[in-house]
Amino acid sequence: MELSSINLILVGVEDNFKFKGRRRILALELEKKGITDNKILDSIKNIPRHLFVDPGLSEQAYLDKALPIENNQTISQPFTVALQTQLLDLNEGYKVLEIGTGSGYQTSILNHLKLDIYTIERNHNLFRTTTKLFNKLKIFPKKFVYGDGYNGLKDDSPFDGIIVTAGSPIVPKKLLSQLKVGGKMIIPIGVETQTMTRITRVGESEFKKETYGNFRFVPMLENKDCLLYTSDAADE
C-alpha cells in the first residue's frame, strides 16, 4: 500500500518531488548492488524513509547508510533492509515474524509487499513512538507487541519467514521452532561484526544454513523481563 500525501501531512512532514527523486536514485543504487526483486525496489521507491528518522536527519534519509533513531538504536541502511527482505523470498499473504521493529521502516517495506506481519519491539519508548507513527500512516501489522524477541510469538506460529533486525550472538532455538517446514529465518549472527545468515527449515529437525557477508547491527539483547502486550496498550 502506497502512503498517501494525506497520511504524510498527519505526521507533519509532507512528501515532495525531491524526496521521491532521491528514492528512485536509491532504488537504482540498490539494484546495482544486487537487489533484483522488482517488488522490493518498488517498495524502496514508494516508502518515505525520511518519516522514520528524526526530522533533522531527513536530508540523509536516502543515503545508503544506517542512521540513529531514539534510545541508541539505528535504522538499518536501505541495502541491508532490501537484502534481508529479498532473502526471505516470500509471496503476498505469507506470514512473517519481525524481531526488532525499531522505527518501523522494515515493517513498512514488508507491509508494502502485502505480507502478514507480526512484529516485536523490546524498547518500550520506541514501541510507543512507532505505534503512534503506524497509526498515523495507517500501517497495521497483524500484531505489534512489546516484548522479548528471543521468545518470538509461539501462539502465532508457525511462520513462513522470520527476520531479525539486530545482531544475535547465537541462533535462538525458540525462533527456529516457530518456523514452518520450508520457512526461512534471516538473522545476523555475531558479536562485534555479524554474518548475515539464512536458515531454512527443511524438516522437523533439519535446517540448512547459508551466509551472505558481514554486517554491523545493534545487539539483540536477551533475558529482558519484558511484559508482553499488544499495541492497544501503547497510549495508556
Which CATH number covers residue 166? Answer: 3.40.50.150
CA–CA dist 26, 204 (Å, integer): 40
- Based on the structure, what is the number of domains in the chain? 1
Q: Is residue 147 assigned to a domain?
A: yes
Residue 76 known to be catalytic:
yes
What is the domain range of residue 184?
A: 70-233
Q: Is residue 2 assigned to a domain?
A: no
> Quick check: 149 and 100 in contact, CB under 8 A?
yes
Rounded to 5°, angle at Cα 133 from 97 and 108: 40
Grid cell, residue 36, equals 533484483
> Quick check: 198 and 212 in contact, CB under 8 A?
yes
- Which of 43, 76, 103, 231 does the annotation list as catalytic? 76
Rounded to 5°, angle at Cα 174 from 170 and 175: 75
Q: Is residue 25 assigned to a domain?
A: no
> Quick check: 88 and 161 in contact, CB under 8 A?
yes
Q: Identify the residue whose cell numbers are 536477551.
A: 222
Render each residue's pLDDT in the chain as its tens digit; 236 residues: 444 433 444 444 577 889 999 999 999 999 999 999 999 999 999 999 999 999 999 999 999 999 999 888 999 999 999 999 999 999 999 999 999 999 999 999 999 999 999 999 999 999 999 999 999 999 999 999 999 999 999 999 999 999 999 999 999 999 999 999 999 999 999 999 999 999 999 999 999 999 999 999 999 987 554 455 555 434 43
86 secondary structure, DSSP code: H
> Quick check: 228 and 147 in contact, CB under 8 A?
yes
